[in-house]
Structure 1
């Protein structure tokens, strides 16, 4: 997002050079507002790098990669779920084994898009004591800013790893 903010400010500055200083000041303000989130990412990575996780689809993969997790779900399964196609039986078997063999510490799923297959993964994770973290592809319920949304997702992941707490629905901090 810092790169997007910088690019938007550059484009707006080109369109309205008289306001360039204003746009650049807002980029600095935006970048500063991301510090708690970036600190949470760095802290997770420093303490829990290589934590194995399973996912339904790649909606949270950038975050999971930024915090240093090891995404164990085959990308071909993630792509099939994302695209609404049937994954291969081999991929489903591998995903199921991640839960039954306790090869992952957390299951991260897109709680805005579920079907019978993703529900079966949720049930299997719960049955095997794997904490579940629901992530969002669009900003959840009112009360969130971009910054609080992203921070809440990293915090939910950390709670899952450290305390085996599932967070399937984010709540805005009031």
Structure 2
């Protein structure tokens, strides 16, 4: 799990005091001088989910929206702090991924309503969207929430696949459809409290979002049915939950992905092992994050392309011109197409 520059963040947070004094400090239900509700998301991934729920009633602001940005290394500005302080609702990933949000919330000391995706992920709630896998915590469900037989088929907590959550906890939970579903419904409930007149709209939009998620889970279910336990590789574990929901086997050397995820240099031995895995065509696809590419990851992509292994790109922010549903559907379809071509 990589962290942003804390030194730069501390400087930005300290300079926020002047900005916040000018902007005014937000309180629960407040949203700026015009009286409208304000929803702020850390990235445009969660901003897209929030916008799907808010609909036409609220314009959601995403602090990180640049397609080539790397949220791990994002440095918060005083304007970011002001936006969070004045927000009616803040939606963010959590789990240390966008730590600048936690730092700003702590520094301003305000009771700003929030929806944290990682906290919902850790709750381990079951749905019909493949939430049966290991969330890094106990996943015992109440009797009324016992997973169906189909969901249980996707529970990798007790098998060899669980070992591929290389750090024990993987914070990239936007690839977990059940978490996206939970975030949408949590946003709907928060907005319903802040804007009772729009409650029916928010809840209906969250229900529509849930139904749209099935366009993605239908693809991952087909992958699990046709390519069960197919070996794949990743340059880093961004797509961990996509891999789990599709029933695939990430065989990338643990030392390699741990180093990439922690922002350190992989050992020569792990680089050689990963390269040989690709050159020997022992995997069906390579999942590749172009937002954090470096010499090593580019070398792995080159090895995959040399061997004719399809490369499936996974991102940390939304590509331009698509929403969450379109993005995740395209990614799942790209994964399916890659595996089909490798069969």
TM-score of the pair, normalised by structure 1: 0.86
Given the superposition, is the C-alpha separation of residues 8 and 75 from structure 1 closer, same or farther in structure 2, using an over 3 Å criterion? farther
Instruction: Give deviations 1:80-102, integer Å, cap 9, x for gaps.
Output: 22332101223212212211222
RMSD after superposition: 1.6
Cα distance per residue 1:115-153 (max 9 Å; x no partner): 1111111111112222211221111122x1111110111
Where does residue 119 of structure 1 map in the other structure? Answer: 298
Separation (CA, whole Å) in 1 of partners of 2:306 and 2:231: 18
| Unaligned ranges ≥5, structure 2 | 1-179
Does residue 154 in structure 1 map to residue 332 in structure 2? yes
Q: Does 2:44 match 1:44?
A: no
Inter-partner Cα distance in structure 1 for 2:298 and 2:198: 50
How far, CA to CA, are the matches of 2:223 and 2:216 in structure 1?
11
Aligned to 1:170: none
Greater shift in the superposed pair: 93-102 or 106-115: 93-102
2:287 counterpart SS class: strand
The 5 A counterparts of 1:81-92 are 81-92=260-271
Counterpart secondary structure, 1:112: helix
Bigger helix share: 1
Stretches (4+) displaced over 4 A: none
Q: How many residues align?
A: 163
The match for 1:67 among 246, 257, 261 is 246
Tell me by how many angstroms 1:33 deviates. Answer: 1.8
Question: TM-score scaled to structure 2, two decimals?
Answer: 0.45
